[in-house]
Amino acid sequence: MADNQQQSKDVTGRSDLLSEEGKNSKTVLCQRCGSKVLCPGMAVFAEKELFLPSMRKKSGLSTTEGSVEGDTLTAHWFVDDMYTFENVGFTKDVGRIKYLICADCEIGPIGWHSLDDKKSFYVALERLTRAA
């Protein structure tokens, strides 16, 4: 299993990722199982510093307590409604945060949601892939 492997994908080639409106130009997929997360044009590119624990199966996520290894990620797809996602699951609340996971293979976190803001959902570009 290489679930905790650091992904060092280049996310600076943004003109390739973004439409002219700053939305995702390609279908966004789960890196692990290829499940569809977002359809093209459904999410807006957002820069925000969010901490996401290292990728692992959901069973591992729900038992994490205290200090957690992970990454501070800054490049995300933002949507204001969870029904915009094609396929996404949530972890149990971690404080005031819910993490988003792949609904099919349950790998995550792929994204971040605050219970204090019901209209903001972020998924990290580095934790996802896109259709060719």
Which residues make up the interface to Zn ion (CB under 5 A)?
30, 32-33, 35, 102, 104-105
Give just the sign of the alpha carbon dihedral 81, 83, 88, 94.
positive
Q: Which is nearer to Zn ion, 22 or 34 (CB)?
A: 34
Least CB distance to Zn ion at residue 53 (A): 17
Q: How far apart are CA 76 and CA 99, in angstroms?
A: 13
Least CB distance to Zn ion at residue 62 (A): 17
| DSSP code, position 17 | H
26, 77, 121 from 42: Cα distances, Å? 10, 9, 12
Q: Which is nearer to Zn ion, 71 or 86 (CB)?
A: 86
Least CB distance to Zn ion at residue 30 (A): 3
Place of tokens 């792929």: 110
Q: Which is nearer to Zn ion, 18 or 39 (CB)?
A: 39
CB count within 10 Å of CB 119 equals 9
Q: How far apart are CA 34 and CA 105, in angstroms?
A: 9
Least CB distance to Zn ion at residue 101 (A): 8
User: ∠ CA 24-56-30 to the nearest 5 degrees?
Assistant: 25
Q: Which is nearer to Zn ion, 79 or 106 (CB)?
A: 106
